[in-house]
Amino acid sequence: MKAAKRRKLRKSQFGLPGKRKYPMPDKAHAVNAKARAKQQRKRGKLSKTAYDKVVRKADRVIGRSKAVKKKRKS
């Protein structure tokens, strides 16, 4: 995503709005944000709390419901 487009996004469109990291203006970016957050978590550069926050936000953007997640875990 180009810097100019990123600057135009609202804070609520980021996985970590305070830091303006992991932009998620659409489903494709949300999927990408989850993947990047997972990479950073594995490298030890992202806390579990921050990772969970990004994943929850991405799942909302993607449109997954909690029922689908629970069903998959069973």
- Report the interhelical angle of 48-62 vs 27-42 (nearest 10°): 160
Confidence of residue 1 (pLDDT cuts 50, 70, 90): confident
Q: Model-level pTM?
A: 0.80
Helix (H) or strand (E) holding 23: strand 21-23
pLDDT of residue 15: 96
Digit-coded pLDDT (tens) for 9-59: 999 999 999 999 999 999 999 999 999 999 999 999 999 999 999 999 999
What's the confidence (pLDDT) of residue 24? 95
The token pair at 16 is 């970590």
Q: How confident is the model at residue 69 (pLDDT cuts 50, 70, 90)?
A: low
